[in-house]
Amino acid sequence: MQVLTLTETTHIDHPTVLTMGNFDGVHLGHRILLEKLVSRAKQLRAHSVVVTFEPHTRQVIKNEPVARLSTLDEKVTLLTSFGIDYLVVIPFTKDIAVLQKDHFVENILANQLNVKEFIAGEGHRFGRKDHSEEKNLSFVDEKKHFSSIKIKLYGENSVTAGSTEIRRYLSEGLISEAVNMLGHPYLIIASRVRGKHLGTELGYPTLNFMSPPSQKTVPPAGVYVAEVEFGSSRLKGCLYFGDCPTFGDREIHFEFFSLDLVEQDPEVGEMCRIWIHQYIRKEIAFAGREALTAQIEQDVTTIKNYFVKE
Q: Residue 33 in contact with residue 151, Cβ under 8 Å?
A: yes
Cβ burial, residue 52 (10 Å; 0-12/13-18/19+):
buried
Nearest one of 47, 60, 168 to 116, comparing CA atoms: 47
Number of residues that make up the chain: 310
For the residues 57-72, what does the mean pLDDT come to? 90
Cβ neighbours of residue 243 under 8 Å, at least 6 residues apart? 221, 250, 251, 252, 253
Query: Is the Cα torsion angle 221, 211, 75, 56 positive or negative in sign?
Result: positive
| Rounded CA separation 182/306 (Å) | 19
Least confident of 12-21, 55-64, 147-156: 147-156
- Work out the average pLDDT over 168-193: 95
| Average pLDDT along the chain | 87
Range in 2-11, 45-54, 91-100 with the lowest mean pLDDT: 91-100
Q: 292-298: long-range contacts at Cβ-Cβ below 8 A with a sequence spacing of 24 or more? A: 292/202, 292/246, 293/202, 293/203, 293/204, 296/202, 296/204, 296/238, 296/257
Predicted structure pTM score: 0.89
Predicted confidence (pLDDT) per residue in 213-247, tens digit? 889 999 999 999 999 999 999 999 999 998 888 77
State pLDDT tens for residues 136-156: 555 455 555 577 776 665 544
| Residue ranges of domains in the chain, CATH in brackets | 2-158 (3.40.50.620), 185-309 (2.40.30.30)
Q: Which of 18-32, 63-77, 82-96, 128-142 has the lowest mean pLDDT?
A: 128-142
| CA pair distance 261, 244, nearest whole angstrom | 25
